[in-house]
Amino acid sequence: MAYLINDASEFVDEMTEGFVAANSHLVRSVYGGVVRAQATPADRVAIIVGGGSGHYPAFSGVVGPGLAHGSAMGNVFASPSAQQIYNVCKSAAGKSGVFMSYGNYAGDVMNFNQAQEKLNSEGIPCQTVVVTDDIMSASKAEIHKRRGIAGDLTVFKIAGAASEAGYSLDDVVRVANLANDRTRTIGVAFSGCTLPGAEHPLFTVPEGIMALGLGIHGEPGLSETKIPTANDLAEDLVARLLEETPAGCTNDAARIVVLLNGLGGVKYEELFVVYRSVARILKEKGITIVEPEVGELVTSFEMAGLSLTFTWLDEELEKLWAAPAYTPAYKKGSVQITGADNSSGGNEIVEAAIPVASAHSIACAKNIERVVASIDATITENESYLGELDSYAGDGDHGIGMARGTHAALNGIKQVVSRSAGVGTALEKAGDSWADRAGGTSGAIWGIILREIGKELGNSAKPSAASVAASIVRAKNEVMSFGKAQIGDKTLVDALVPFAETLQSQVRSGENLAEAWESAATAAITAADATGALLPRIGRARPHAEKSIGHPDPGAISFAMITRDLIPLIREIA
């Protein structure tokens, strides 16, 4: 558990402030994360990494010469928002483009992709390599679905060294892809971890038992067994990784990188005992270890656990792995550091002008503010329950993330409604604020929902039952197009689709908005409850599918709760 906090909701901001104060010779703070204290040379590709906080030294700890140029930092165990990622990229970019890399998690993919699209649309070349090293999170046949854990470091390091050597954006992508293709990781846990301010760990492991295949967000392991000796654990982990030898590689006189990573509760002395056996086993097999790393590389608060990573090298990858780097948490060789960039750019978020709106739309925007306030009240009341629901197969942060999002949405909409915004502007501001503050998958999705409703309703006409129904259908279509989820995947979509379709059907049949909304909310509640019988097919819960049986999807439940609790207000204002 976290012993020293002030306010759990401010934990990441305060942590970041302290981190920058302690490393100001290497990093500076910008909105959304940190970038190098030194400006990126025009002829160097900017390497941007990132993900949720709670994994230090990933991801901010690897920003510095020879490695990353910036890190987008999300809330605890939640991806940074698209706006945060975009801002970090803009703050770090030179003139040779941006390379982004991060672990393969749904929220990160959604938000980094949005940022990449925006950068490319502005003429800033941007490409991505998503890390997929965790062998326990998907089969070989679905290797593209594997998540990224401690193997992040080898991919980031090789990309950073390539940039430092003057590689083009295409060549940085080439070597990073090769590094990712040749990297395999397996992890184990002996205890769970606890989010700052939480009273209970996300999951527990029985005393004397080891969970195999854990995730770095506190996801439970895929199987459990008695804790072996250090020698036996090393034998098992090495064997499993060698069974995953990448295509085109051989273990006959192979040269590999070895990372033995402590997840927070297993400290260096125990790691060295394990590494002793790993090194012996590989030597006996004729495999050469190249510049290994033993220590805390990607953590998960106080989780007692470790992971073992192998990266099979060729001549080019070995040269890049061995190249010098100097960051707050990772140092290798000798690096010359130039003077810091003392500009304050990157922290300013410019408020857009409020578009002109009709009197009808301005009046209705005040009711939309009441709608968002109702949503915020529903999530605040159910925050703990939603977190508990998420912990069965996810990382337990759904309630916290939703609360951050709804609080921000309410603050955002108040700002523009007080400036005579129309309905469209108010909803788009609420959506942007929600997505930006919440981050993660739910933040991205709710940002899309509110923005698309706002785009459909606009700032001119007075919203009608038909236009409200059409706006929600539009939001549903965009969410499904963006996130790729379908009915039956055990996500928010399972509740969103019946809500949108029932609402539109009932309005078209002649019901007023209040009556149609009540019917649609009932359909959403029924569908959300029914997700308890489903196996998740996408998202973070997918590797722990069986653990979710009997528990409904938290995203579907929170959506259904919101629609249900809005019924009295819709009756009043419709």
Domains of the chain and CATH, by start: 8-330 (3.40.50.10440), 359-573 (1.25.40.340)
> Which pTM was predicted?
0.88
Whether 350 has a pLDDT exceeding 60, the answer reads: no
Whether 353 has a pLDDT exceeding 90, the answer reads: no
Whether 9 has a pLDDT exceeding 90, the answer reads: no
Q: Which of 212-226, 301-315, 485-499, 508-522 has the lowest mean pLDDT?
A: 212-226
**How far is CA 179 from its chain centroid?**
21
**Which of the pair, 415 or 200, is modelled with greater confidence?**
415
Mean pLDDT over 290-313 rounds to 97
- Give me the amino acid identity at 330: Y
Q: Which residues are catalytic?
A: 217
> Which of 117, 120, 119 is CA-nearest to residue 109?
117
Percent of the chain with pLDDT over 70: 94
The answer to whether 70 and 46 are in contact (CB under 8 A) is yes
**Which of the pair, 383 or 339, is modelled with greater confidence?**
383
pLDDT range class, residue 545, cuts 50, 70, 90: low
Mean pLDDT over 429-450 rounds to 94
End-to-end CA distance of the chain: 47
Whether 344 has a pLDDT exceeding 70, the answer reads: no
Whether 546 has a pLDDT exceeding 70, the answer reads: no
Provide the 8-state DSSP code for 48: E
d(C-alpha 551, C-alpha 221), whole Å: 18
Mean pLDDT over 39-62 rounds to 96
pLDDT value of residue 498: 98
Average pLDDT, the chain: 93
The answer to whether 443 and 398 are in contact (CB under 8 A) is no
pLDDT value of residue 387: 86
Mean pLDDT over 260-282 rounds to 97
pLDDT value of residue 352: 72
Whether 92 has a pLDDT exceeding 90, the answer reads: yes
**Which of the pair, 394 or 518, is modelled with greater confidence?**
518
Percent of the chain with pLDDT over 90: 81
**Which of the pair, 222 or 10, is modelled with greater confidence?**
10
pLDDT value of residue 8: 83
What residues contact 43, with CB distance under 8 A and at least 6 apart?
94, 95, 96, 166
